Structure formats: C-alpha cells, structure tokens
Amino acid sequence: MLVAAFISAAPAHSAAAQGPAAQRRNQPEIPAVARREAICFAYYTVNRGVLKLTAQLYPLEDGETREATLAIQVGDDWKTIASTRVTEEPYDNYRQDKTWTAHFRVEPWDESRTVPYRVTALGGVAAYEGSIRANPMGKREIVVAAFTGNSNQDRRLKPDLIANLKAQDPDLLFFSGDQVYDHTDHLGAWLLFGRQFGEIIKDRPMISIPDDHDIGQANLWGAGGKVSTNSAGDDGGYFMPVEYVKAVERAQTWHLPDPVDPAPIERGLGVYFTALNWGGVSFAILEDRKFKTGPNGPLQLKPKFAPRPDWVTNANYDPQALDLPGLQLLGERQEHFLKAWGEDWTGAEFKAVLSQTIFSYATHISHGNRLLADLDSNGWPQSGRQRAVDLMRRCFAFHISGDQHLGCVAQYGLDDWRDSSVAFCVPSIVNYYPRKWLPLGPAVRALEGPIPNLGDYTEGFGNKITMFTYANPTAFPAPLTNLAASASGHGLVRFDKATRQITMECWPRGVDVTQPGAKQYPGWPITINQWDNYGRKPVAWLPEVEAPAGIATPVVQVVDERSGEVVYTLRAKTPRFKPWVFAEGSYRVQIGEPPDRVITLTGQRSRQP
C-alpha cells in the first residue's frame, strides 16, 4: 500500500533550405578555448565488468593529433589503460560540424573500487579528470537524480542545481531527453550542456537518452527510422539528415552499456536500448519513441478533431478509434527485451524503467491550449501502451521519465485503477513550454491532498491513471530569477534496499536543499513499497515455497501452466514465500538463485485465502 500521504518549429534539412540568420537564431556559440581546455567533459557507465567512457572535445585544429588516452591513478602514478582516435564524423548541418568525441571501452573492469581517471588529448596538452565510482552494491540506499528539458531559453550555467546535486550526492544521473534544444546545432548545445553539468557528471555514472529536440525536430515518432517529410515529425520518422541523428546518438549514448539487440533500423540508424545494473537496481533503458508510429497518416485527425495531427481538441471523438491495428509504441524488439529483462534478476533487488516520457496522457493544458488527448504522450497507441505496462508490472518495475514539462507522480491502471506501475515524470530543468494537470470533471475516486484534482481518472485515450501529486506552473512566462514559478526543477528517487521502499522527491529550482526546512513541490516526498508496482488484487494463494539452503533473498517466478505466461518475477525478502495469483488454476513456481540453484515446483494449485 502507499505509505505516504498519497502516494519550436524545427529548421529544414540543410543550409540551403533556410537563410543563415534563421539558422543561427539563438544558437549557442562554440567558444575558442585554450588548448589545455580542449576536452569539454567526460561521462561514463560501468556495467557487469565493462567501463564505457566518452570524452567530448571542442573542435580540433588542422595538424593537431587526434589521439586521446585514458589513464587511471595507481598510487601516486597514472597508468594508461586505453587509447583511441577522436572521431570526426560529420553532423551534416549548416556549420558542417564534426563529432569530436573520444570513446573508451575497458574490460574487464573492477567494479569494487573507486578510481580517479584522466583523459588526455593533444599529446598531453589537454587533460580532464574525474573518478569512476565503485558499484555501490553494499550501500543501503541508491539515489538517482533525474532531469528533462534543458530549454535554450536559459543559456546560463546552473550553479544552484549543481550545488544541490553535490549535496544530494546521487549514485546515478538520468537525463531523459531534450538535453539540448537547438535542432541544427547539437555540437554547440552539447558543449554548453557539458559546461553546465560536467562538474557533477564527471564523478558518477550518467545515462542520457536523446529526444525530439536533441535530434532536430518538434516531436518524435521514430517509425523505425524512416524519413519524416516535415520538421514537426508527425508523419513518423526522422527529419534531419541521417548523419545528424547518428552523430547525436553517438555523442549521447555510446557510453551506455552495449545494446541488447544491436541490429540497425531503417537507413542504417542504430539503436541503444539496453540494461544497466547499478547498486542492486536493474534499469531498463528504453527508446520509447524510436519505433513509435506517427499520427499523421494512419489517423488523419486534422482537421476533423484537432488543429494539428497530434492533438485532439474536439469532444466528438472515440478514443478507441485512435487505437488502430498495427500501430506501434515500443515495437516488437523492445517488448521482447522488456520481457526478458523483467525475468532476469541477477544482482538486482529493484527493477526500474527509464524512458523519454510517461505511458499515459497526464496533462490537460499545453502552452495555453486545452487538449483532450496528445498523441505525443505514450498513452497512445493504447494497445502498445497496455503491453508495455503489463510487462513492467510483471516485474514490479518502477518508472522514471520526463518530457511532459510537468512533474507528477501517477500510477498506471490496466484492469483497474492502481493495479500497475507507479511512474515519476520529473519536471523540466527550464520549463519554457508550460503544461498543467487540470481535469474538467471530478475523479472517479478522489484522494485528499495539499492540491486539488488528485485521485483516479480515465485520461483522454481511455487509459486508467491515478494522480497522486503534480507541480503546475504558477506563472508564465516566469522570470529567470524565479524558475520555480514555471515549475522547473529536478527529481530524486531513493531506492531503500532494506525496506524495499521507493521515495520520490521533487525539488524546485532556486531552493537550497541544504537549508533547514527546504521545501519540495506540494505533495512530495512520496514513498511507496516495491510491491505497489503490481497493485492488482490477488484472488487466491499458492502453497508456501522455500529457497535452497543459504539463499536469503531468492528470486521467485510464478508461471500459469495453462497459458505458459509468466505471472510475475521478483526477488523475495525472505527465504520462504507464499505466492499469490490472480486466477484460480495450476501454476509452476521457481524459487532460488538462477540459473543453477533453483527449485521448480509444478502443479501448484491455487487456494482461497
């Protein structure tokens, strides 16, 4: 049970398509830097004995060496452990930028120690230092800081946010998308991002996944990699040249653990969906928009229901009519991955899904427009959403996402309200496109709280959603001296491995978290139990099972013998476990530590409680 109070228009393809002045409007400059500062920032992950680290450089000059090295500190000395060549793949943008990234892969890597590292370039003239953290497996609480929406309306450095993050000292950073908002100028904006966040990124693992503004369009329905014919992206696919998209993904995702299914998609675009185990938390990193169908084509909403193809504003619509056969959300490859990941609990006590956006429509007012449904959200297509949520709840997965410009905590419903995963959609770093939760009608079942409109709702696609809290903006445009008024901020998630509780925090910009009485947005913090992520009510129980001797927290899997479907998989808190089920019948139960120390019991008959 819940244990808290409640629980722009993109430019065209090429320089010829529009004038230089339009292209350069509000574009970040690439500053000339001293050669000793040619390395802007570095970022990494460590997963199952493999270190992957990327260093982003400023443009190198003709005649300068392209070699870069990675060294670690051993005693008082530095030991070179890898070398590579700085990449120069083209962005194919108006300025003809190149990638200027140095990628290092080191295996085997000892995850048990924290090690200072140094990246050097230009024959040792340029150097950048940080530390590779030890995997915090023995740490009781794993802390994840989560971000989205680094709007180009605020180019300043972010000392307030960096100071707060240093005080909160997260074990992992997650940037869910829109790290940059510059469409044709990812290199300049990514270098600015490095100047803004490099100080906190250099000393801990960082996950970044690019979203629509990162790859150069207003919204993203990737449709498996095909070409989009317009900068809004609503017909599905990618609008910018394929070289540009590849360069963005190389910069932002190369350092992630290797893709679990690396086969390229249309036009040779790569994929990066993968898994990361850190501190006993298993994270699924999704590309929830790479395979998603575009609305302009199959639905033909405009002008019948809306002023644009992804908005529904006319009340005379049937939500189920939007869920046409064959529409994709995650796509078959990611659904297959999500199923396999949910059943593999090696080294994990929690499961968490990381994605670009939430799997429901969780706003009503978008930049002053009242929408009944927004197909940019992952509430659509409904069938794909149902499959994704079902796979998540089978492993009791918690969900962290961004993009919606509205910090909120909600719980998904499939058969009933509150029977599936809890989701934390974090607020934008700089919220310059405000959205609000403001339903027209009352909740099916209301919840008391510090703000109105909390409880069980049916959103615009007919999906069940329970809203526990949200952070609506109080002013727009909010002055840059009061970003909290625009509901800007960041999220923090604490995974307590001793109690199996998950606590969500939502911090406004401008608040000093070190001060006594520092306040989060209303309704936060919220604490749930891991098992709340499968809130479906049991109808029967199976006989108690016990793990092989010596296994204190076994993995338990329950399989319906009639269908062969996995009902759920989780890591139990104690050696003895009494499984619950949601239908009468016969079940197979496995308990132990896969793959070798497992007891399998077949023909387990359900019993009434």
CA distances to 130, 168, 215, 282, 518 from 142, rounded to whole Å, are 21, 11, 31, 11, 22
For residue 31, the domain's CATH number is: 2.60.40.10
Q: Across-strand partners of 564?
A: none
pLDDT given at position 397: 98
Q: Across-strand partners of 401?
A: 425
264-271: long-range pairs with CB below 8 Å, 24+: 264/225, 265/222, 265/224, 265/225, 265/290, 265/291, 266/224, 266/225, 266/226, 267/225, 267/226, 267/227, 267/242, 268/242, 269/225, 269/238, 269/242, 269/245, 270/246, 271/333
Residue 123 belongs to a domain: yes
Residue 19 has pLDDT above 50, yes or no: no
- Among 534, 560, 581, residue at a domain's last position: 534
Q: Are 266 and 257 in contact (CB under 8 A)?
A: no
pLDDT given at position 29: 86
Please enumerate in sequence order all residues whose Cβ is within 8 A of that of 34, keeping only pairs 6 or more positions apart, or say none.
Answer: none
pLDDT tens digit sequence for 272-301? 999 999 999 999 999 999 999 999 977 765
Q: Say whether both 465 and 549 belong to one domain.
A: no
Q: Say whether both 316 and 377 belong to one domain.
A: yes
pLDDT given at position 302: 59
Question: How many residues in total does the chain contain?
Answer: 609
Per-residue tokens: 258: 């290797």
- Among 484, 518, 534, residue at a domain's last position: 534
Percent of the chain with pLDDT over 70: 95
Q: Say whether both 418 and 486 belong to one domain.
A: yes
Tokens 């990361």 belong to which residue?
Answer: 276
CA distance 180 to 425: 19
pLDDT tens digit sequence for 483-517? 999 999 999 999 999 999 999 999 999 999 999 99
The number of distinct structural domains making up the chain is 3
**468 lies in which domain range?**
294-327+349-534
Interval 561-581 mean pLDDT: 98
Q: Say whether both 382 and 526 belong to one domain.
A: yes
Residue 20 has pLDDT above 70, yes or no: no
- Give the pLDDT band of residue 478 (cuts 50, 70, 90): confident
Q: Say whether both 61 and 80 belong to one domain.
A: yes
Q: Say whether both 548 and 528 belong to one domain.
A: no
Per-residue tokens: 290: 């790479």
Q: DSSP 3-state assignment of 172?
A: strand
Distance of CA 312 to the CA centre of its chain: 26
Interval 539-567 mean pLDDT: 98
More confident residue, 321 or 42: 42
Q: Say whether both 558 and 520 belong to one domain.
A: no
Residue 339 belongs to a domain: no
pLDDT given at position 609: 72
- Give the pLDDT band of residue 180 (cuts 50, 70, 90): very high
Q: Say whether both 376 and 494 belong to one domain.
A: yes
pLDDT given at position 18: 35
pLDDT given at position 47: 98
Residue 462 belongs to a domain: yes
Mean pLDDT of the chain: 93
Residue 81 has pLDDT above 50, yes or no: yes
Interval 24-41 mean pLDDT: 87
Residue 14, number of CB atoms within 10 A of its CB: 14
Residue 151 belongs to a domain: no
Interval 424-432 mean pLDDT: 96
SS (H, E, C) 251-264: HHHCCCCCCCCCCC
More confident residue, 307 or 562: 562
- Give the pLDDT band of residue 479 (cuts 50, 70, 90): confident
Residue 53 belongs to a domain: yes
Residue 289 belongs to a domain: no
Q: Say whether both 250 and 366 belong to one domain.
A: no
pLDDT given at position 308: 86
Q: Tell which residue, 300, 296, 238, has the closest CA to residue 269.
A: 238
Tokens 């060294």 belong to which residue?
Answer: 71
Residue 96 has pLDDT above 70, yes or no: yes
Residue 282 belongs to a domain: no
CA distance 562 to 541: 17
Q: Say whether both 240 and 97 belong to one domain.
A: yes
Q: Are 97 and 84 in contact (CB under 8 A)?
A: no
Q: Tell which residue, 551, 602, 603, has the closest CA to residue 577.
A: 551
CA distance 117 to 132: 7
Interval 15-22 mean pLDDT: 36
Tokens 């936060």 belong to which residue?
Answer: 524
- Among 484, 505, 534, residue at a domain's last position: 534
pLDDT tens digit sequence for 187-225? 999 999 999 999 999 999 999 999 999 999 999 999 999
pTM of the model: 0.95
Q: DSSP 3-state assignment of 272?
A: coil
Residue 392 belongs to a domain: yes
- Give the pLDDT band of residue 226 (cuts 50, 70, 90): very high
Q: Say whether both 249 and 190 belong to one domain.
A: yes
Percent of the chain with pLDDT over 90: 89
Q: Say whether both 409 and 483 belong to one domain.
A: yes
Interval 452-470 mean pLDDT: 98
